[in-house]
């Protein structure tokens, strides 16, 4: 049984299968329309500002005025530097070895907006992640799986890379790509969804 009823048309402005799964698993009805935007950080832009801006641009990049649009963006940050997706296996290994044995941050921004009403909200959420101490051999073995090549920071906590993370401080779903506690609060607040409370 589902916990929520969808009250308004909802568009997910993301092609991420993990973001789709989070919403679908809760019984929230939505459509996917991927917004194509430039994801280059601006000079001097802080991680929270970066993910908030990109999520806002993704949400506003979908031109369906009568719908609520949810945009999101996730960034892995170490030493204040935003790590994107690696260009190749060598770059993936370099990123992973940089994270090895250390704490880093994962920031996800999300933006919910409706053009017809002019309502919107944007939030950035941070989770701290501790990485396993990696040997070069273990690093190469993981990179050989192919998983790191399409992931920011070169790892996926919800996939084959689950063994890389012995500890987190904060939201797990935020690391995967959508801080569901905060997203649900926003969807309920703006009456995009409602609780089903009959047992």
Give dist(CA 177, CA 195) in Å, integer: 23
* Residue (of 70, 67, 59) closest to 9 by Cα position: 67
DSSP string spanning 2-36?
A: -SEEE-S-EEE----HHHHHHHHHTT---EE----
| Candidates 2, 63, 73, 150; catalytic one | 73
C-alpha to C-alpha distances, 118 to 5, 36, 51, 111, 196, nearest whole angstrom: 23, 22, 21, 13, 27
Write out the two tokens for 166.
């012995």
Active-site residue flag, 150: no
C-alpha to C-alpha distances, 179 to 21, 42, 55, 122, 154, nearest whole angstrom: 13, 24, 13, 12, 20
Number of H helices, E strands in the chain: 6, 9
Catalytic residue IDs = 73
């Amino acid at each position: 049984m589902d916990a929520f009823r969808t009250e308004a048309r909802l568009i997910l402005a993301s092609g991420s299968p993990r973001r789709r799964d989070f919403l679908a698993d809760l019984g929230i009805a939505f459509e996917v329309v991927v917004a194509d935007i430039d994801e280059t950080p601006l000079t001097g832009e802080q991680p929270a500002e970066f993910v908030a801006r990109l999520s806002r641009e993704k949400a506003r990049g979908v031109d369906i005025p009568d719908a609520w649009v949810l945009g999101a963006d996730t960034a892995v940050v170490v030493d204040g530097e935003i790590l994107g997706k690696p260009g190749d296996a060598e770059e993936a290994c370099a990123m992973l070895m940089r994270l090895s044995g250390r704490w880093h941050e994962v920031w996800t921004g999300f933006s919910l907006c409706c053009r017809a009403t002019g309502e919107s909200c944007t939030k950035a959420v941070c989770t701290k992640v501790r990485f396993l101490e990696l040997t070069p051999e273990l690093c190469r073995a993981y990179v050989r799986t192919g998983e790191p090549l399409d992931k920011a920071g070169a790892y996926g906590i919800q996939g084959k890379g689950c063994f890389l993370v012995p500890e987190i401080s904060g939201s797990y779903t935020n690391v995967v790509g959508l801080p569901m506690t905060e997203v649900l609060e926003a969807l309920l607040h703006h009456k995009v969804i409602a609780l089903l409370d009959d047992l």
